[in-house]
């Protein structure tokens, strides 16, 4: 049988999807292929210039598609709330929590959270909670959160979620990606306990060539490291079109179950999507609940009685 590819995405006509960070890389490919399959896609991006340009590009590549741009800065909870308010309860079939940052120098979000934890986890936690009523208005809602194989670098430290004791950028990145998987695990557990039809799954792109790899080195002015990542992206990494496949599979394929985790088949690096290995600390009920409670407190977003356990 031919390996799963974007041409096998089921018909998405009548479905509405939001993809965060969809102006470039695997986020853009995800939005484009969903639109090609018939979905109405909203590209939720921090930069209005880049987001609007991506919408125009998508319209050129998929004639007849009607994508939208919507402003969303996951590093600013006021922006996340404004996005939720602007959505206004419209039915939503699919939310793809794709945007992220990787291995940045220490910084803080607008709300004072360590940047990687704040953007990669807390911003998406808040966004999902605010959009949950819209998701539950549809018959088969899905939430797909993009994690990383590098979640294996570190478990979360529930007593130091903002890495204030000691900051190591790759450890902080691993923690934020572990948080993504714990969020999916706990969301799945709570939805199942409440008897809701929501499917919450996760995906990772393996090693895909995107701007993520070079951004941290660029911010630190480390030209040699930046050039090394650029070379690796050209010689070793798979293209964004391949890196987006696990996300697209988790978002659309029949048989995807809540708390599934998909990535490239070959060594979690490249190839067609398949169920992926994950670290044992990403499937702990106690850890998931503790992170959930902390995330509600930090963001001020309460998922409501429907998901109380």
3-state SS, the chain, equals CCCCCHHHCCCCCCCEEEEECCCCHHHHHHHHHHHHCCCEEEEEECCHHHHHHHHHHHHHHCCCCCCEEEECCCCCHHHHHHHHHHHCCCCCCEEEECCCCCCCCCCECCCCCEHHHHHHHHHHHHHHHHHHHHHCCCCCCEEEEECCHHHHHCCCCCCCCCCCCCCCHHHHHHHHHHHHHHHHHHHHHHHHHCCCCCEEEEECCCCECCCHHHHHHHHHCCHHHHHHHHHHHHHCCECHHHHCHHHHHHHHCCCCCCCCEEEEEECCCEEEEEECCCCHHHHCHHHHHHHHHHHHHHHCCCCCHHHCC
Confidence of residue 233 (pLDDT cuts 50, 70, 90): very low
Average pLDDT over residues 86-113: 97
Confidence of residue 208 (pLDDT cuts 50, 70, 90): low
* 173 classed as catalytic: yes
Confidence of residue 230 (pLDDT cuts 50, 70, 90): very low
Would you say residue 218 has pLDDT above 50?
no
Average pLDDT over residues 221-247: 63
- Interval 2-52: pLDDT, tens: 789 999 999 999 999 999 999 999 999 999 999 999 999 999 999 999 999
- Interval 128-165: pLDDT, tens: 999 999 999 999 999 999 999 999 999 999 999 999 99
Confidence of residue 213 (pLDDT cuts 50, 70, 90): very low
According to the model, what pLDDT value does residue 301 have? 96
According to the model, what pLDDT value does residue 238 have? 79
Say which of 173, 207, 249, 262 is annotated catalytic: 173
According to the model, what pLDDT value does residue 271 have? 82
Q: What is the mean pLDDT of the chain?
A: 91
Confidence of residue 232 (pLDDT cuts 50, 70, 90): very low
């Amino acid at each position: 049988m031919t390996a799963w590819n974007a041409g096998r995405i089921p018909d998405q006509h009548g479905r509405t999807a939001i993809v965060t960070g969809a102006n470039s890389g695997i986020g853009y490919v995800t939005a484009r292929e969903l639109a090609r399959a018939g979905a109405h896609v909203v590209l939720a991006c921090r930069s209005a210039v880049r987001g609007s340009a991506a919408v125009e590009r998508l319209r050129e590549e998929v004639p007849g598609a009607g994508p939208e741009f919507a402003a969303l800065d996951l590093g600013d909870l006021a922006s996340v709330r404004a996005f939720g308010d602007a959505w206004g309860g419209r039915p939503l079939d699919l939310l793809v929590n794709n945007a992220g940052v990787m291995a940045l120098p220490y910084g803080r979000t607008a709300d004072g959270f360590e940047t990687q934890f704040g953007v990669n986890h807390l911003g998406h936690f808040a966004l999902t909670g605010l959009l949950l009523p819209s998701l539950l208005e549809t018959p088969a809602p899905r939430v797909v959160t993009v994690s990383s194989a590098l979640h294996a670098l570190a478990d979360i430290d529930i007593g130091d979620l903002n890495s204030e004791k000691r900051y190591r950028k790759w450890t902080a990145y691993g923690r934020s990606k572990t948080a993504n998987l714990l969020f999916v695990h706990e969301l799945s557990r709570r939805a199942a306990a409440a008897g809701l039809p929501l499917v919450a799954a996760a995906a990772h792109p393996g090693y895909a060539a995107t701007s993520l790899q070079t951004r941290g080195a660029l911010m630190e002015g480390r030209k040699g490291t930046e050039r090394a990542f650029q070379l690796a992206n050209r010689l070793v990494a798979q293209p964004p079109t391949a890196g987006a496949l696990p996300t697209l599979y988790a978002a659309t394929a029949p048989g995807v179950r809540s708390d599934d985790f998909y990535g490239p088949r070959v060594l979690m690096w490249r190839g067609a999507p398949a169920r992926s290995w994950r670290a044992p600390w990403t499937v702990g009920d106690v850890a998931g609940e503790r992170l959930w409670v902390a995330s509600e407190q930090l963001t001020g977003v309460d998922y409501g009685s429907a998901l109380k356990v």
